[in-house]
Amino acid sequence: MKINYKKAFEKILLIRKIEELILHEFNKNKIFSFLHLSIGQEACAVGISMAANKSDFFFGNHRSHHHYLAKGGNIEKMIFEVFGDRRGCCGGIGGSMHLIDKSVNFQGSVPILGSSISIASGMAMSKKLEKKNSIVVVFIGDGSAEEGSFYETVNMAGLYNLPLLVVIEDNKYAVESGHNKRKSKDYNFKKIISGLGAIYERCNGQDFEKIYKTTLKMKKKILNKKKPGVLHLDCLRFARHSGAHLSKKDQLAKYRVKNEHIKIKKNDPLNIILNKHLNNKIQNIDKYILKLENNIHNKFYRVFNKIKLKKI
């Protein structure tokens, strides 16, 4: 299997830089909207989108810049949307948490936790009835996987053999509460999911290669065994839960596990691809990265400079 690591790196870098630039302008302009950054979690979206087909459908949640961009959503329309411009993908009235681009089968991000999973299962039912070979992928967080709708939907999807892949980006927190504050000690996710009739896999959500390979395997199983799947990705949220912050202060905050900032530094999805696959393949790697970053910067400001910001 030949894997295009360069393409994966470039996609992750695009998402990273676009979000950093959004963050920069958000802070300067005091935009009145929620902002949930995916920084640190980009490989989850890129690994899955590269393993999926164009004809597969994606649904996102409140933290979905990476899902939208990885699926190939229109960058210009996303930037307009985030800054409340009428030319945005939701007419500028939804903001960062409402992204949609049906031209690439990104069916929409829904910020009400646990809601998109039921909507996605409806679409999976329609794909089953149409006898299409596509799957429906829905991204949720570890906190959202504690909503009743998650269990109900996985159960029904198991019962009706739906081609649904639920991806849990487990960054360990729901806002600032960790697993130990939300789950019983005996909570066994694998047993619960298997008991609901779905396929369960878990892997490192910082490592593109692992996500890509696991997704390929799961997609095959979902279509062959006619069962839904739950893919559990262990990942790290580098930024604060929401708002325009990417400071060390949050990484060192009390609600996080001890030394998480060190783990964050060591497990950057960009560095993992560079160290494992690209450093010794690309000559003058710094120049290559700088050129990519400059292109992204120019792309962002070509759109941003067209926006007349509404000051509050």
Ligand X SMILES: Cc1ncc(C[n+]2csc(CCOP(=O)(O)OP(=O)(O)O)c2C)c(N)n1
Query: Which residues are near Mg ion by CB under 5 A?
Result: 141-143, 171, 173
Asked if residue 171 binds ligand X (CB under 6 A), the reply is yes
Listed in sequence order, the DSSP H helices in 206-254 are: 208-225, 248-251
Distance of CA 100 to the CA centre of its chain: 14
Rule CB under 6 A: which of 94-113 touch ligand X?
Answer: 111-113
Please identify, among the stretches 141-149, 196-204, 248-256, 266-274, the one whose residues bind ligand X according to the rule CB under 6 A: 141-149
Examine residue 143 and tell whether it contacts ligand X (CB under 6 A).
yes
* Residue showing tokens 């960009």: 270
| Burial class of residue 108 in the structure, from the number of CB atoms within 10 Å of its CB (0-12 exposed, 13-18 middle, 19+ buried) | buried
d(CA 110, CA 18) in angstroms, rounded, equals: 21
Cα separation of 108 and 60, whole Å? Answer: 6
Please state, as a whole number, how many other Cβ atoms lie within 10 Å of the Cβ of residue 235.
Answer: 25
Residue nearest to ligand X (CB): 141
**SS3 of 107, please?**
strand
The nearest distance, CB 175 to Mg ion, in angstroms, is 8
Q: Which is nearer to ligand X, 141 or 163 (CB)?
A: 141
Instruction: Single out the segment in contact with ligand X by CB under 6 A; choices: 140-148, 193-201, 272-280, 303-311.
Output: 140-148
Nearer to Mg ion, 92 or 141 (CB): 141
230 lies in the binding site for ligand X (CB under 6 A): no
Q: How far is the CB of 311 from ligand X (least distance, A)?
A: 26
CA 224 to chain CA mean position, Å: 26
89 vs 113 by CB, closer to ligand X? 113
Closest to 214 measured CA to CA, from 198, 230, 201? 201
The alpha-carbon radius of gyration of the chain (Å, integer) is: 19
Residues in 53-72 that interact with ligand X by CB under 6 A: 62-63
> Which of the stretches 7-15, 172-180, 260-268, 275-283 binds ligand X when contact is defined by CB under 6 A?
172-180
> Which chain residues interact with ligand X by CB under 6 A?
62-63, 111-113, 141-144, 171, 173-175, 241
